[in-house]
Structure 1
Amino acid sequence: MRLLGLDLGTKTLGVAISDLTLTIANPLTTIRFNEADYDSLLPKIKELVVNEKISKLILGLPKNMNNTIGSRAEETILFKEKLEEYLNMEVVLQDERRSTIEATNYMLEANVSRKKRKQKIDGLAAAIILQTYLDRMKGR
């Protein structure tokens, strides 16, 4: 079984997948949706869960830098609850502070063009969220 990492934005959902050994996370795709229409994501995520044989979802929680929960984090928590109900599956929240900044920095260091950065940022941020979770579970 594999894990799926999710980076929920207002118009995009970055998706990453683990390898079978639950050691490495890789960007998978970015799903675009109408602003705040999170319900439209549910069947798309379900399709990925079934096709990729996913056992658990890891959803990035956008806490404020001072560790408080703001409006974006509240929306994410509500989405987590919808996902769990819709999929009948565990969804784990993973602190995602700085994941998008880290993803941007990786791509800048690799000289990725601005156009490609925009296309890849959400999937890479999801991979960072998932990798953080995998490392934490393995005690790294």
Structure 2
Amino acid sequence: MGLDVGSKRIGVAGCDGTGLIATGLTTIKRTSFEQDVSQFRELVEQRDVQVLVVGLPYSMNGTLGFQARQVQKYARRLSAALQLPVEYVDERLTSFEAEQLLHAEKLSPSRHKALIDRKAAAIILQQWLDTRRSNR
């Protein structure tokens, strides 16, 4: 399951059974950690999730800033709560790429923030799937 973790929303993506194609599933509006876990637990059970793939917002110079450390902290807590391993993907420019996809679909990014989060999560998961496949 791919995650684009933000301070207000978390974009969620899943993949097909063969692990070839990632698609955006939903966007979780963050309220409390317990509420987040409850929603994730449902998705994990429905989709037989094996790993959490979390986008890590590196700085443009490749360092981990404040936001990246916050994402890691959240991902570690979620990983422990769901008893799933977590892996990270460099998510630089995935939100920009998701916005470009919306422009191509003639949709306004400012009106479709949740959709951007889902698409960014799908891009994150697709990068991870592609990397895994090429390393085999």
- TM-score normalised over the length of structure 2: 0.92
- Structure 1 residues 6 and 114: CA distance shift in structure 2, 3 A: closer
- The whole-number CA distance in structure 2 between the counterparts of 1:70 and 1:38 is 22
CA contact (8 A) 1:58 1:94 kept: yes
- Structure 1 residues 16 and 50: CA distance shift in structure 2, 3 A: same
Provide Cα deviations, 1:80-120, integer angstroms capped at 9, x if missing partner: 21122111111111111100000001110221244653341
CA contact (8 A) 2:109 2:116 kept: no
- TM-score normalised over the length of structure 1: 0.89
Report the equivalent of 1:9: 6
Report the equivalent of 1:67: 62
Report the equivalent of 1:21: 18
- The whole-number CA distance in structure 1 between the counterparts of 2:109 and 2:75 is 31
- Structure 1 residues 73 and 114: CA distance shift in structure 2, 3 A: closer
CA contact (8 A) 1:12 1:122 kept: yes
CA contact (8 A) 2:99 2:116 kept: yes
Report the equivalent of 2:90: 95
Partner AA of 1:12 in structure 2: R
The answer to whether structure 1 residue 84 and structure 2 residue 79 are counterparts is yes
Total equivalences in the alignment: 135
- The whole-number CA distance in structure 2 between the counterparts of 1:46 and 1:134 is 22
1:112 to 107, 113, 116: 107
Q: How much has 1:18 moved relative to structure 2?
A: 0.6
Provide Cα deviations, 1:30-57, integer angstroms capped at 9, x if missing partner: 01123xx444312211111011111111
CA contact (8 A) 1:104 1:117 kept: no
Root-mean-square deviation (CA), in Å? 1.6
Identity %: 36
Q: State the SS of the aligned residue for 1:58.
A: strand
Unmatched 5+ stretches in structure 1: none
- Structure 1 residues 76 and 114: CA distance shift in structure 2, 3 A: closer
